[in-house]
Structure 1
Amino acid sequence: MATLGVDGIASGLDTSSIISALMQIEAGPQTLLSRKKSTAQSVVSSLQSINTKIKALADAAATAAKASTWTTFKATSSSSAATATASTSAAAGSLTFSVDAVAKTQVSLSASVASGADLTAENPPTLTVKSADGTYASVTADSNSLADIAKAINDGDLGITATVVSTGSGTSRLQLTGTTTGTDGAFELYVGDEAAVTGGTATRLDSSVTRAASDAQITLWKGTSEEQTFTQSSNTFTGLMSGVDVTVSAVEEDVTVSVAVDASAGKTQVSGLVTKMTAILDAIDAGTKASSTTNDDGTTSVTGGILSGDALVRNMRAKLSEAMTYPIDGVSLSEYGIEVDRYGDISFDGDAFAAALAEDPDGVAEAMQTLAARVEDAADLYSDSYEGLLTQSLTTRQTEIESLASQISNWDTRLAARQEALYAKFTAMEVTLSSLNAQMDYITSALDSLPSISSSSK
């Protein structure tokens, strides 16, 4: 509320400055509340950031604690002629085979013509594909132009694609390619409906087969009495090994597919835990780190961080660090590549971890699951959405901030009323002084108007 004051009209005083100084004194408690609120907000912001990091650690630890995380296998091939992928049901092992043939799609051509009308007089024409399994599928083009015929084939889900290819001298032909490899993808394309095709009156459109559909073939234990050949339309041999699919792409002898525990997956899990834990500890250290300043008199003042002296933060750091660094069944975590230096900083040696995993996959997997479960428990202790100690502390602190905001707002009303009262008092004072000054001027004037009395001496 704006207040109109009479600034020193009668007294000559700087009334506004006096009231401003008085209001600064009156606002002292509100200023302290504002500082307290600002500090509390900084603490909450810092703790919220830490809590978010702890939740991320808990999620990562929960994944790493699962047995399935440590039964991930990776399949590799000795040759680019074959690639292999391992599923969750894969097991360690290897298999050598020869790639005798790669499955290919059929490619056929129509006659070379000046226009589609030279292929068929029907306009619009009905096109029918006879598949290798003896089934038929038909589609009708918008016209008998080569472009419309190709479009109808491509839009018709017939199991083939069509491309108009220029052959020079104003002629073109259709290239027809099967969408499925192997003999299962073989086809014949006719002009006419199914009845015409089965009745023998339809005209075959793909008059020339440039590449016949062919199957993929591999041979196991080639050259031995146990030699066994597998032939199929797909280049992917599903389940060739337990939980392993092999896809061939070139003919080659003696291709070996090997399956082993995926060390990179485990390494990623542990490295992620260490990275997330380090981020949490660094954030806590940054919030508790003291800073020093040199005063004008040469002395040094030390100020604690915004989280200094907070027992919850101190205990939380200790608990999380212990979970990540304490031995497992008497074995130091350095055996698994998790190192702790003399300053308490945690680091991860990926090579040391990979070596330990290669030597004892099951033992390392079990130890890391134990570690992850321990870290998850410690993280949940503080960051659980309902019962986490840090989560509950943040809720309490937020309530305190809201209370401080309410008190500050109440002080705004109180100070506004106080300022208005001061302006009223000083205004009344100026009015009273002005009246007194007027009376004094009147008396002085009256006295000055009285006749003077003179006396003579004898």
Structure 2
Amino acid sequence: MASISSPGIASGLDIQSIVSQLVALEKAPLTQLKSQATSFQTRLSTMGTIKSQVAALGDATAKLSKNTGWDAVKATSSNPLAIGVTVKAGAPATSITMEVQNLAKAQSTSSAAVPAGTAMGTGSMTIELGQWSGSSFAAGSGTPVTIDIDAGDDTLAKIAAKINESGAGVSATVLKDASGERLLMRSKETGEENAFRITVADDDGQDTDAGGLSRLAFSVGNANGMSRSQNAENALATINNVSISSASNTLSDTLPGMTLQLSQETTGPVEIDVSNDTAAISANVKAFVDAYNTLNTTLATATRYDEATKTAGPLQGDSTTVGLQNALRGMMRSVSSSTPYSRLSDVGIELKSGGKLEIDATKMGAALDNLDDLKALFTTTGSDPTAVGFGWKIKTFAEGLIDSDGTVTNKTDALQASIKRNTLDQERVNDKAARSEKRLLAQYNAMDASVGKLNSLSAFVSQQISMWNKG
């Protein structure tokens, strides 16, 4: 039999409303389940924040657990325009006086002027790096580079391009002025040992005359070839009145951990000082304090009950979070085996009300003046994990919390499992309600159809009785 398209039309009952109310009763558990789901999600989000902040605390203390966190140094020059200075972490503190008598220079040469676009001849030119001593040239260990020249095509511009592509250790360019074009060449590196000599093999058979490729040759005493505009020279300086010489104006291994950049010759002594960078070290300590305070605030907020608003934090009463909060605060009060500083409070890192850390600037300043002792408070190692330096102690604790089987990780996993179970419970309630709705609609529709049949029969009987009475 076809189903009734409008439930309740025969019986006059609001079947859809009746079924909806009955289904709503079936779904009643969803209210609590959804509330639990929201709570679980909030707690999971809070634990995610805690995990991230624990990691940040571990990173901050890891820096303080190693020498590199305490080796920051700074360097100053009384004349940075003449002598610049940079230092690597760990460079020893020192003070020197320096003077620069001569800057390192690269050899430069220039050819005579020729009309623009002149083909320079046929043959080859060979470039050698080495050192000049008067008119004598001592070739270096590098291999000479030979460049072929084509008379019909190779102008100064094309010869310069071939030189630059050859890797001969020199650079070339063409200078144009009212006189014509000149070939300019320069050593790529400064210093006496990076000078160069140019010999040519001119197809006209004359290698030192005033024509053809001979015009591009360079050797001391060759009046027809290129002329030298700058000798190759070493940098000459004194450090604490000790003379030094360098092929480069950048002195990177003259003093340990220090790089000196020579830019100008000096007319008087330049004072260079290298000292501990207490500002950078203080910043590392402050980063640790800030990371702890951020985590402490999150833990306090998550576990607090606000009497004014009658609201509890998402992890209020959670034993894991409360235990973590107490453990962190206890660790800040603990001791290390270092001397003379064994507590954070000894150097001005003090635990205040509510578990917050504050830095006493006076105490910290005094501790920075005794940097080795302050460093020991954080870097001391030993077999007793409770007595090691605070850098190691807190770093290890933080890593343990967020390891794969750590407390924070386990709590996060438990919350994720609860959310999964809650989702399945909601699905089961919805499935049961859907089945109930289907069953109830079928039952009420069947009842409505039966009432319809009875009504039809009643109408028929009444009609027949009425007809009999008339007869």
Question: How far, CA to CA, are the matches of 2:229 and 2:347 in structure 1?
Answer: 59
Question: Aligned AA for 1:18?
Answer: I
What does 1:321-400 correspond to in 2, within 5 Å? 321-324=329-332, 333=344, 336-348=347-359, 353-354=364-365, 356-357=367-368, 359-369=369-379, 370-383=389-402, 385-400=403-418
Q: Is the 8 A contact 1:141 1:151 kept in 2?
A: no
Aligned residue number for residue 145 of structure 2? 137
Question: How far, CA to CA, are the matches of 1:75 and 1:64 in structure 2?
Answer: 22
Question: Aligned AA for 2:187?
Answer: G
Question: How far, CA to CA, are the matches of 1:89 and 1:213 in structure 2?
Answer: 35
Aligned residue number for residue 97 of structure 2? 96
Question: How far, CA to CA, are the matches of 1:301 and 1:106 in structure 2?
Answer: 82
- Aligned CA distance change for structure 1 residues 10 and 406 (closer, same or farther; 3 Å): same
- Aligned CA distance change for structure 1 residues 265 and 16 (closer, same or farther; 3 Å): same
Q: Is the 8 A contact 1:89 1:242 kept in 2?
A: no
Q: Is the 8 A contact 1:15 1:426 kept in 2?
A: yes
How far is 1:155 from its partner?
A: 2.4
Instruction: Say whether residues 1:128 and 2:126 are aligned partners.
Output: yes
Aligned residue number for residue 32 of structure 2? 32
Question: Aligned AA for 2:271?
Answer: T
- Aligned CA distance change for structure 1 residues 412 and 151 (closer, same or farther; 3 Å): farther
Q: Give per-residue Cα distances to partners, 1:377-401, cap 9 Å, x unaligned.
A: 3323422x22311111111222222
Residue among 285, 306, 310 paired with 2:300: 285
- Aligned CA distance change for structure 1 residues 412 and 156 (closer, same or farther; 3 Å): farther
What does 1:165-180 correspond to in 2, within 5 Å? 165-168=175-178, 171-180=180-189
Question: How far, CA to CA, are the matches of 1:403 and 1:150 in structure 2?
Answer: 77
Q: Is the 8 A contact 2:96 2:240 kept in 1?
A: no
Question: How far, CA to CA, are the matches of 1:5 and 1:323 in structure 2?
Answer: 73
Aligned residue number for residue 416 of structure 1? 434
Instruction: Say whether residues 1:218 and 2:237 are aligned partners.
Output: yes
Instruction: Say whether residues 1:237 and 2:248 are aligned partners.
Output: no
Q: How many residues align?
A: 430
Question: Aligned AA for 2:158?
Answer: D
Q: Which moved more, 1:242-251 or 1:432-441?
A: 242-251
SS of the equivalent of 2:275 reads: strand
Q: Which moved more, 1:135-144 or 1:305-314?
A: 135-144
Question: How far, CA to CA, are the matches of 1:4 and 1:49 in structure 2?
Answer: 57
- Aligned CA distance change for structure 1 residues 127 and 447 (closer, same or farther; 3 Å): farther
**What's the TM-score, normalizing by structure 1?**
0.83
Instruction: Say whether residues 1:163 and 2:173 are aligned partners.
Output: yes
How far is 1:211 from its partner?
A: 2.2
Q: Give per-residue Cα distances to partners, 1:302-343, cap 9 Å, x unaligned.
A: 121212121211221232234346566776645545355444
Question: How far, CA to CA, are the matches of 1:396 and 1:121 in structure 2?
Answer: 86
Question: How far, CA to CA, are the matches of 2:324 and 2:366 in structure 1?
Answer: 33
Q: Give per-residue Cα distances to partners, 1:364-419, cap 9 Å, x unaligned.
A: 11123322223213323422x22311111111222222222222223332222111
How far is 1:214 from its partner?
A: 1.4
Aligned residue number for residue 405 of structure 1? 423
Q: Give per-residue Cα distances to partners, 1:33-73, cap 9 Å, x unaligned.
A: 23322321221122012102211221331221013432343
Aligned residue number for residue 53 of structure 1? 53
Q: Is the 8 A contact 1:183 1:215 kept in 2?
A: yes
Question: Aligned AA for 2:451?
Answer: L
Question: How far, CA to CA, are the matches of 1:36 and 1:115 in structure 2?
Answer: 88
Residue among 416, 436, 441 paired with 2:459: 441
SS of the equivalent of 1:214 reads: coil
SS of the equivalent of 1:451 reads: helix
Question: How far, CA to CA, are the matches of 1:308 and 1:261 in structure 2?
Answer: 46
Aligned residue number for residue 276 of structure 1? 291
Instruction: Say whether residues 1:307 and 2:315 are aligned partners.
Output: yes
Same amino acid, percent of matched pairs: 26
- Aligned CA distance change for structure 1 residues 411 and 116 (closer, same or farther; 3 Å): same
Aligned residue number for residue 382 of structure 2? none
**What's the TM-score, normalizing by structure 2?**
0.81
| Structure 1 residues not aligned, in runs of 5+ | 223-227, 293-299, 454-458
Residue among 193, 197, 205 paired with 1:188: 197
Q: Give per-residue Cα distances to partners, 1:95-117, cap 9 Å, x unaligned.
A: 21221111122232233223353
Question: Aligned AA for 2:243?
Answer: T
Q: Which moved more, 1:14-23 or 1:80-89?
A: 80-89
- Aligned CA distance change for structure 1 residues 8 and 84 (closer, same or farther; 3 Å): same
| Structure 2 residues not aligned, in runs of 5+ | 132-138, 219-225, 380-388
- Aligned CA distance change for structure 1 residues 71 and 221 (closer, same or farther; 3 Å): closer
Indicate the RMSD between aligned Cα atoms, in angstroms.
Answer: 3.1
Question: How far, CA to CA, are the matches of 1:391 and 1:166 in structure 2?
Answer: 73
- Aligned CA distance change for structure 1 residues 144 and 322 (closer, same or farther; 3 Å): farther
Question: How far, CA to CA, are the matches of 1:434 and 1:48 in structure 2?
Answer: 62
